[in-house]
């Protein structure tokens, strides 16, 4: 007499599949731990090379109100600051100005047109 419950053979097969899945998950966990260790080691190397740890890194977050035309940013007092000045005042970033290739080419062509 066969009832509606699973047979012994079906249960053994399901248990076998569950064991395989557990082994896969354990292997993935071992790999995750290796990646974590490698990441920690690389963070130490970066810290040693730069003297700055990730915990020392400042991050700007939130919504910045920026002028669509001149790119000034509205500060906490309601005034407007140049983007570079605002970021410099709210982080440990400094700026070095240069031209991207597109703007450099545009400026060159404008200079040649004036001649």
Radius of gyration in angstroms for the set of CA atoms belonging to the chain, rounded to a whole number: 30
Q: How far is it, in rounded angstroms, from Cα 5 to Cα 58?
A: 60
Q: Could you report the per-residue pLDDT of 89-109, keeping only the tens digit for each? A: 888 788 888 889 999 999 999
* Element holding 11 (H helix, E strand): helix 8-50
Phi then psi for residue 73, to 5 deg, are: -115, 135
Q: Average pLDDT of the chain?
A: 82
Amino acid 1: pLDDT: 46
* Element holding 74 (H helix, E strand): strand 73-74
Q: Are 65 and 73 in contact (CB under 8 A)?
A: yes
Q: Are 99 and 108 in contact (CB under 8 A)?
A: no
């Amino acid at each position: 007499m066969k009832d509606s419950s699973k047979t012994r053979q079906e249960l053994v097969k399901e248990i076998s599949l569950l064991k395989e899945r557990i082994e896969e998950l354990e292997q993935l966990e071992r790999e995750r731990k290796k990646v974590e260790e490698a990441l920690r080691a690389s963070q130490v190397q970066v810290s040693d090379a730069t003297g700055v740890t990730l915990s020392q890194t400042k991050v700007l977050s939130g919504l910045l109100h920026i002028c669509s035309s001149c790119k000034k940013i509205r500060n906490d007092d309601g005034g407007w600051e140049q983007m570079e000045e605002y970021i410099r005042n709210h982080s440990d970033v400094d700026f070095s100005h240069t031209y991207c290739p597109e703007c450099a080419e545009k400026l060159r062509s404008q200079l040649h047109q004036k001649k």
